[in-house]
Amino acid sequence: MRGGTEFRFVTDGIESALRQTRAAAGDRQVSIAGGASTVRQYLAAGLIDTLQLHLVPITLGGGERLFDGIAPRLEQVSVVAGPTVTHLTYRVLR
């Protein structure tokens, strides 16, 4: 894509996807974006260092619980509140 963005579909697990992403990124930072299921998988595997949540007060449907079945230890780093969204950043403790 323009700007160098690439999309690859990985079907052999989250560890493989992260390994391939880190190899492609070189020394650059890697971010994982996704819904609750994606975040839960990476948190449960201990593969996330920093968790950024962007809360928008609208109802889109039934939703999915972010921490369902897991209990990560989080340390709040920052909160930035705006009129339409609140940005929360947490350090994931091991």
- CATH code (residue 84): 3.40.430.10
Q: What is the pLDDT of residue 62?
A: 77
Residue 74 structural domain: 2-93
What pTM did the predictor assign?
Answer: 0.83
CA distance 17 to 7: 11
Question: Chunked in runs of 10, what are the mean pLDDT values of the chain (94 residues)?
Answer: 83 95 92 91 95 87 87 97 96 95
CA distance 17 to 5: 16
The whole-number pLDDT of residue 77 equals 98
- d(CA 47, CA 50) in angstroms, rounded, equals 10
The Cα 76–Cα 8 span in angstroms is 32
- Looking at the structure of the chain, the number of domains it has is 1
Determine the pLDDT at residue 2: 85
